[in-house]
Amino acid sequence: MFHGSFVALVTPMFGTGEIDYASLAQLVEFQIQNNTHGIVAVGTTGESATLPFQEHIKVIQFIVECTSGKIPVLAGTGANSTDEAVFLTKQVEKLGVDGFLSVVPYYNKPQQAGLVAHFNAIASASALPLMLYNVPSRTVVDMQTSTVLSLSSHPNIVGIKDATGDLNRLEELQSVLPKDFLLFSGDDASGCAFLNKGGHGVISVTANIVPAQMSAMCEHAFAKQYDEAIVIDTKLRRLHHTLFLEPNPVLPKWALYKMNKMISPFLRLPMVLPELNQQICIEQELKELGLI
């Protein structure tokens, strides 16, 4: 069920900070029409850190309803409190999602043994599959390969989104984990190389902007058409970089705003609109790609 290009979907908002559900429905349809293999709903790119529980749950439910079972939905239910992550997981399980994505707890800097206890507790809260999410640039803590190996023994933990950008880490994981344990890249800049080295997919920010290209890149990699995958990735290389000139999802939202006003550019505080020079950078890249 989980393979290929999953978009780490942004959550559209009005200037008041309220969720723009009409634009969210359009974004979901845009992804489906452009062959995205799956959606991550209210992950960290979806500004999960600033959505209260009930709103978080409502947005996931809305996305599930919009997909109508056409593509799988992974719900972001991570938190830096184990009790909160368990609560979210139990609540979201009822909505018809296909699984969960759970980020390494941020700020409180747990030990590796704490990560094992944390994710085992979440995985035991639901019968649905759980994917781990390691993004040390945002969480400080790096989930070590030995920790992932320990967690892989839980029957509900089926994979990991690795956003280290370290291809040596991928090889480490491949050398010790079961062959059916899913390995997804969470770093767009190295995503193509990750796929060409045997990764099972990407959970992509760039896919918000160019879903068809990200999906095609994955399909080529799976067909061992590595040169074709590299051609697509090369065209997107500057976009991968430019989208992260400001903290995610500031520039992905601005890009979607400039693309036929697909959404408003607003974020929830403490995130704010991009600086003018960064607006110019992303708009220039969108022009180069023929997107505006």
Q: Residue 241: what residue type?
A: H
Q: What is the CA radius of gyration of the chain?
A: 18
Q: Give the active site residue among 58, 161, 197, 253.
A: 161
| 133 in active site | yes
Q: Give the active site residue among 58, 70, 133, 224.
A: 133
Under a CB-based contact definition with an 8 Å cutoff, are residues 75 and 99 in contact?
Answer: yes
Question: CA-CA-CA-CA torsion for 66, 202, 157, 111, nearest 10 degrees?
Answer: -120
**What residues contact residue 49 under an 8 Å CB cut-off, 6+ apart?**
none
The secondary structure element, H or E, covering residue 33 is helix 21-33
Under a CB-based contact definition with an 8 Å cutoff, are residues 213 and 204 in contact?
Answer: no
| 253 in active site | no
- List b or e across 138-150, with b for residues whose CB sees 16 or more CB atoms inside 10 angstroms: ebebbbebebbbb
Residues in the chain: 292
Kindly state the tokens that stand for 42: 């209210």
Kindly state the tokens that stand for 32: 């489906």
Please return the burial class of 33, using the count of CB atoms within 10 Å of its CB with bins 0-12, 13-18 and 19+. Answer: exposed
Any idea which residues carry the catalytic annotation? 133, 161
